[in-house]
Chains A and B, each alone.
Chain A
Amino acid sequence: MRYSKNSLISEIRPQMLLDNKAFKRSNEILYVFYSADELALPFLSKIGIQKCIYLSEVLSPLKEVVLSFLNFIYLHKGPYSKDIQNILDHLVSMNAIEVDSFSTYKKKNSYVNYKITEAGKSLVENLIYDPLEKEKLQWIRIVLRLIDAYKDAFDLSEEYRGVDKIIGLIYQEPSFCEIKQGNRKEELIPMGDKNTLTMELIHFLEKVGETLPSSFDRVKYKLDLETVLLAFFEYLYVEYLSEKART
């Protein structure tokens, strides 16, 4: 393993990163940065990382990936996890990620943008020798690729830039949307394979072919995992455009 001499990473044994729950959360966030780097996304902002982690977590039961769940609440306008900022600070202190630049949000607030370091990439490449960790990375990679595919969709959250633009889709995410519509601020957003609205929609998509009457070619509309995910993203986008058309 080659780490920067100044890095704290060199003092951490990989096994320790796998055993400790707090470290597991850090790893998962690091996988988001790693996947973003693979997609040539220059950086992730504080807003962007919150949204990427939220989608990775709320959809994870679809692939039965066990992520070390963070708690997301409805704060201000979207889902928010206070743990993420602490973990970002921790990852910066470890030199696994670094501050890339600053961006402005709605022309008034400024936010830090982060990117993964070479040391962070090496760390991920070692962590994924563990099959469970590799599975988590693969899952996050799929979600990030879809985020990347939709972030430039027509008319989406024009006041934002880059990955932050998916905020418009997050606002339509069913589990969050229900809490938002009830104006239940600071309420915990349900996660996991419980009876969440998100999973209800996902389970519906998994069996969508059977829903159609016999005049349709049902086999043609049977969806696999990636297509279910894509249909879910498209649904969020369609809901976003519908809301825009109404207002």
Chain B
Amino acid sequence: MNAMLKMSQLIDGLNGRLGRGLMWLILAAVLISAGNAIVRKAFDMSSNALLEIQWYLFASVFMLGSGFAFLKNAHVRIDFISNHLSAKTRNLIDMVGIVVFLLPLCYMLITLSWPLFANAWNSGEMSQNAGGLIRWPMYGLIPLGFTLLALQGLSELIKRAAFLSGAGPDVISHIETESKDEIGHEIEEHAAHVQEEVR
């Protein structure tokens, strides 16, 4: 179990760091997109590479960030029934879901998308727009992203199992309360700040 938990920590570290890096791409996309619009109107210039890089950046964020979102328990759940279940049942449901559905899903999408990537890599496929970008990095995002998601699935599986065997905390409820505390804390801070200003 210890070796497994170690591995889970490694995966969490990888996806966590990746996610914190990816979020800057959003800022880059904002700046590039606003820049494109302004430059096009002001100087009557535009470049297809700069137009395409916008969706390259955003696609990278959500394809590679899925594992990160799973780590942060940010993929929404419809939880008005599961909230009434015991922590044990909820963890069990997650384990079954990961093994029976999530991992096969990732496996399928990786095997299906790999030929697409290999093709684009070998042929050096370019965007059909003049001055557009090379395509293989985008095709590559699909297998890579689902690999990262599968890895995170594995890590979450280990954490759920650890909880059920008494070797670890309840991560699902833990994250929930933590994020609730975070929100509560944020609101309090905000409130203090506002009151200060009103004075």
Binding between chains A and B: no
